[in-house]
Amino acid sequence: MHKIMKHVLQSQQFDRPRLEHLFEQATVLRQAWQKDKKALRNLFPGEVLCNLFYEVSTRTRISFELAAKYLGMDVVGTEDARTFSSAVKGETLEDTIRVLCGYGIRVIVIRHSGEGSASRASSVCDQFGVSVINAGDGCGQHPTQSLLDLYTIQNEKQRIDGLTVAIGGDLSHGRTARSLAYLLSRFSGVKIMFVAPQDLQIGEDILTHLTEHGVPFVLTDKMDEALPVADVVYWTRLQKERLQASEGGVKTPYLLDRGSLTLMKSDAIILHPLPRTDELSNEVDDDPRAVYFRQAENGLFIRMGLLQSILGTTS
Ligand code: NCD
């Protein structure tokens, strides 16, 4: 029996048994939902989820909304809290959260540009028994994305132990890469290759964590060094909206295209959190190693599993 989860704030809170349990939950929920899309609607009737998004989102917001609705919950929220909430009038995040907590909301899913914002929201929510899910906090973390990334790796490769994972792109601003690195450190024999130009490389905090957990890693600015040895290729876009004006000219020189496919192992898999911009050619889409659209689908079931873990029935 697993303890009920209070909040989902960062990847480090998930140990291996919890991850394995979540993956089982997601699979059971997927099977029930595929058989009958209405089958789960009696699970949490009357419970309310609030989507509070201060940054743009397509997959995360809509899959949370649908995950909640398929489980019978009611959903309220705003898709652009920067423009359509009282933040425009200068209201603090703490005040907004405190008010929402008085309306009978059970779970708040928050995306915000400020690192640590989900954790700030959770401190307010603790007084009211309301749960917070971090749907991305600036350059901090995006734990629910990394959970669905890991679930995809497990489903496609049938294991995580022993894999070599190449994580490439804008790793200094990309929160999904950071959250994934924390999760991978829960497994044994995993090796990580971080592929990025020096000024976009992964943060020292992640490298310190990996060293402390005995996870071998390589930093490289050459994708040709990583692609031939990787079992998993995790590609990400340049986070243009997070670059300082002084970094305006920065580019990720890493285009994954038909040519890159010839360098890769025949049984490797290619993941991308999406959206893609110019680092992943659509020439790759038809290759059997490209799994990023299935990866996005998995988000629905992982998010259902997380809501189930928070709301109470952990079976
Ligand atoms: C990611 C994010 O918001 O960090 N998007 C997502 O949720 N799939 C990745 C990105 O925007 O590059």
Per residue in 200-217, pLDDT (tens digit) is 999 999 999 999 999 999
Q: State yes or no: is 106 an active-site residue.
A: no
> In this structure, are residues 22 and 146 in contact, taking their beta carbons and an 8 Å threshold?
no
Share of the chain above pLDDT 90, in %: 88
- Tens of pLDDT along 29-71? 999 999 999 999 999 999 999 999 999 999 999 999 999 999 9
Whole-model pTM above 0.85?
Answer: yes
What pLDDT, on the 0 to 100 scale, is given for residue 87?
Answer: 83
Q: Is the pLDDT of residue 100 over 50?
A: yes
Average pLDDT of the chain, as a whole number = 95
- Tell me if 272 CB under 6 Å of ligand 1: no
The reply to whether 313 belongs to the active site is no
Asked if pLDDT for residue 252 goes beyond 90, the answer is no
Q: Is pLDDT above 90 for 183? A: yes
Q: How confident is the model at residue 246 (pLDDT cuts 50, 70, 90)?
A: low
Residue 142: active-site member: yes
Which atom of ligand 1 is the closest one to the Cα of 273? 8
Out of 7, 30, 106, 111, the active site residue is 111
Q: What pLDDT is attached to residue 315?
A: 47
Q: What is the pLDDT of residue 155?
A: 98
Closest ligand 1 atom, residue 60 Cα: 7
Per the annotation, the verdict on 61 as an active-site residue is: no
